[in-house]
């Protein structure tokens, strides 16, 4: 559904370029759009690896999984002079609540991802690349990617001595089995190695010591699928879109109370208002109350602030949140914010891997206190306790899941404290029974997560 906007750019230019075709995920469709030309050119000319890495740095591409770190810089951390085996890993464990952009790339434009993975492998000197899909993708999404990979192999675009060069790259599909934490890059490495997904201490960073102890680069699906056009059309083309520090295009998953929820690939810096229009505006003509602009791990932003904000890293940071994965969750005026944070807290409590005490215990405390408040049994002391927990988690854990659980709770209390207070003031006749309370944490959760 590529359509012109403001005569300046097409939406769905890179990662969703095939969406307008009848058969979007086919090899033929991708090739008819000039697909694999960039990879073939690299194979013909065998440019210096540093040249490609520099182009990616110059393009301003930042990791699209959530952290927003410069992709080219990440690649440059690989020691090219070392003879060590190097790996590329594509993080297709899309599971940040609100995010469904990568699933559409895997389903509808898998060849862009494959070509991006090949170029990235070449640039970092990896001869083996893995694409790790979340377990729940095991049916149609995984099949779409596997079929595309088969076609790419059949057309001899990868494998041994590709196009009679010295370049050998094997790309393997992998499937997970359900665990949000595996989206954290070092937990993903543990999972690929066949262990439970416990994040690792950093340093050493994966670029130094990653998969099977070897230098490894882990990139998100959207990041890698953007690479072919960035290299093909040049870094200047890409950075001519977006803003100075937020270059190029980004896929946003707009969900919640909108008329036309969907994935939209637009230049960074596009006003939030425009994105909301693309998503068909507010459902039932209701007023915008709040937006979670980057997946459930980021702070919530009041609607009136969001309406003045642009969709780029700096603008969203200024409005007190993060661009994250680009999952934009829209909430209308009737939304019960205590219910929303209750659901978010339940999620992090379930998904904490249990390795670090502040996160394992803290996510449970936060959920239990919010649950108590939501059920009308909360006191002002409970709210104070709830306010104090995020500070005890943030910065005290190996990975970012603890912060991801803490930030939304903090922000919901900051912006919507009155709604928490309303629950605390509920008249006594509305109090529910004890059996309505959440079950207490027991060790079984930590041991088995069942």
Residue closer to other proteins, measured from CB, 80 or 143:
143
Per CB under 8 A, the list member of 49, 147, 178, 286 interacting with other proteins is 178
Question: CA–CA separation, 384 vs 395, rounded Å?
Answer: 20
Structure tokens at 194: 């066949």
Residue 146 sits in the site that holds other proteins (CB under 8 A): no
Rounded CA gap, 96 and 214, in Å? 27
User: Which listed range, 270-278, 305-313, 345-353, 423-431, lies at the site for other proteins (CB under 8 A)?
Assistant: 345-353
Examine residue 352 and tell whether it contacts other proteins (CB under 8 A).
Answer: no
Cβ atoms 342, 389 nearer than 8 A? no
Measured from the CB atom, the residue of 178 and 271 that comes closer to other proteins is 178
15: nearest Cα among 68, 58, 64, 76: 64
Cα 168 from chain centroid? 29
Shortest separation between residue 412's beta carbon and other proteins, angstroms: 12
Binding residues among 189-228 for other proteins as defined by CB under 8 A: 191-197, 212
Residue 378, token pair as written in the block: 């909360």
Of residues 120 and 341, the one with the C-beta less far from other proteins? 341
Is 262 or 271 the residue whose CB approaches other proteins more closely?
262
343 counts as binding other proteins under rule CB under 8 A: yes
Neighbouring C-beta atoms of residue 209, cutoff 10 Å = 17
Residue 354 belongs to what H/E stretch? Answer: none
Segment contacting other proteins by CB under 8 A, of 56-64, 70-78, 327-335, 396-404: 327-335
- Yes or no: say if 19 and 34 are a contact pair by the CB < 8 Å rule: no
Q: Which residue has the tokens 């750019």?
A: 9
Figure out which of the listed residues 99, 109, 186, 220 binds other proteins, where binding follows CB under 8 A: 99
Q: List the structure tokens of 119.
A: 């170029």
* Least distance between other proteins and beta carbon 48 (Å): 28
Does 259 interact with other proteins (rule: CB under 8 A)? no
The single-letter DSSP state of residue 281 is S
What are the residues whose beta carbons fall under 8 Å from the beta carbon of 296, sequence distance 6 or more?
Answer: 96, 97, 98, 327, 329, 344, 347, 404, 408
CB of 337 to other proteins, least distance (A): 11
Q: Which stretch binds other proteins (CB under 8 A): 8-16, 43-51, 187-195, 218-226?
A: 187-195
Is residue 140 close enough to count as binding other proteins by CB under 8 A? yes
Q: What is the Rg, in whole angstroms, of the alpha carbon atoms belonging to the chain?
A: 23
Identify the residue among 71, 263, 319, 321 touching other proteins (CB under 8 A): 263
Shortest CA distance to 147 belongs to which of 26, 18, 234, 41? Answer: 26
Say whether residue 60 binds other proteins (CB under 8 A): no
Can residue 335 be called a binding residue for other proteins (CB under 8 A)? yes
- The CB density around residue 412, as the number of other CB atoms within 10 Å, is 25
On the 0-12 / 13-18 / 19+ scale of CB atoms within 10 A, 438 is middle
Stretch that binds other proteins, among 155-163, 171-179, 306-314, 316-324 (CB under 8 A): 171-179
Complex with other proteins: residue 196 or 273, whichever CB lies closer: 196
User: Going by C-beta distance under 8 Å and a sequence separation of 6 or more, which residues neighbour residue 342?
Assistant: 367, 370, 371, 374
Give the residue among 19, 29, 42 at the shortest CA–CA distance from 158: 42
- 185 makes contact with other proteins (CB under 8 A): no
- Which 355-414 residues touch other proteins, going by CB under 8 A? none
φ, ψ of residue 382 to 5 degrees: the values are -60, -40
Among 224, 266, 331, 338, binds other proteins (CB under 8 A): 331
Stretch that binds other proteins, among 37-45, 157-165, 247-255, 373-381 (CB under 8 A): 247-255
Neighbours of 44 (CB within 10 A): 10
User: At its nearest, how many Å lie between other proteins and the CB of residue 385?
Assistant: 23
As measured in angstroms, the least distance from the Cβ of 134 to other proteins is: 7
Binding residues vs other proteins (CB under 8 A): 94-100, 102-103, 130, 134-140, 170, 172, 174-180, 191-197, 212, 253-257, 261-263, 292, 296, 327, 329-331, 335, 339-340, 343-344, 346-347, 350-351, 447-450
């Amino acid at each position: 559904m590529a359509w012109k906007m403001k005569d300046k750019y097409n939406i769905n230019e890179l990662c969703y370029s095939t969406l307008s075709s009848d058969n979007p995920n086919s090899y033929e469709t991708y090739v008819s759009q000039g697909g694999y030309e960039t990879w073939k050119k690299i194979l013909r000319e065998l440019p210096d690896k540093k040249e490609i890495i520099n182009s990616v740095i110059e393009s301003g591409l930042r990791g699209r999984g959530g952290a927003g770190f410069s992709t080219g810089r990440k690649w440059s951390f690989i020691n090219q002079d070392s003879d060590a085996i190097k790996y590329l890993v594509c993080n297709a464990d899309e599971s940040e609540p609100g995010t469904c952009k990568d699933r559409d790339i895997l389903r509808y434009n898998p060849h862009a991802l494959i070509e991006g993975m090949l170029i990235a492998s070449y640039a970092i000197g990896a001869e083996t690349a893995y694409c790790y899909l979340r377990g729940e993708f095991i049916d149609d999404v995984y099949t779409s990617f596997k079929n595309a990979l088969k076609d790419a192999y059949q057309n001899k675009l990868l494998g041994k001595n590709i196009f009679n060069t010295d370049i050998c790259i094997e790309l393997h599909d992998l499937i997970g089995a359900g665990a949000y934490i595996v989206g954290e890059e070092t937990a993903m490495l543990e999972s690929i190695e066949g262990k439970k997904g416990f994040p690792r201490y950093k340093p050493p960073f994966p670029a130094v010591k990653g998969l099977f102890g070897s230098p490894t680069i882990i990139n998100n699906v959207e990041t890698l699928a953007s690479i072919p056009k960035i290299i093909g059309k040049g870094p200047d083309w890409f950075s001519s879109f977006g803003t100075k520090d937020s270059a190029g295009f980004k896929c946003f998953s707009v969900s919640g109370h909108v008329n036309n929820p969907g994935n939209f690939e637009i230049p960074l810096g596009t006003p939030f208002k425009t994105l909301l229009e693309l998503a068909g505006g507010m459902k039932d003509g209701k007023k915008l109350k709040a937006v979670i602009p980057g997946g459930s791990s980021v702070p919530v932003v009041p609607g009136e602030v969001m309406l003045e904000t642009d969709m780029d890293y700096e603008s969203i940071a200024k409005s007190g949140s993060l661009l994250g994965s680009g999952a934009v969750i829209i909430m209308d005026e009737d939304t019960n914010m205590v219910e929303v944070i209750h659901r978010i807290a339940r999620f992090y409590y379930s998904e904490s891997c249990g390795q670090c005490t502040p996160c394992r215990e803290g996510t449970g405390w936060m959920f239990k206190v919010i649950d108590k408040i939501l059920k009308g049994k909360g006191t002002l002391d409970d709210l104070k306790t709830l306010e104090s927990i995020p500070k005890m988690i943030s910065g005290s854990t190996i990975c970012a899941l603890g912060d991801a659980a803490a930030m939304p709770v903090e922000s919901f209390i900051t912006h919507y404290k009155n709604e928490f207070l309303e629950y605390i003031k509920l008249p006594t006749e509305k109090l529910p029974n004890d059996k309505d309370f959440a079950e207490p944490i027991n060790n079984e959760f930590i041991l088995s997560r069942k």
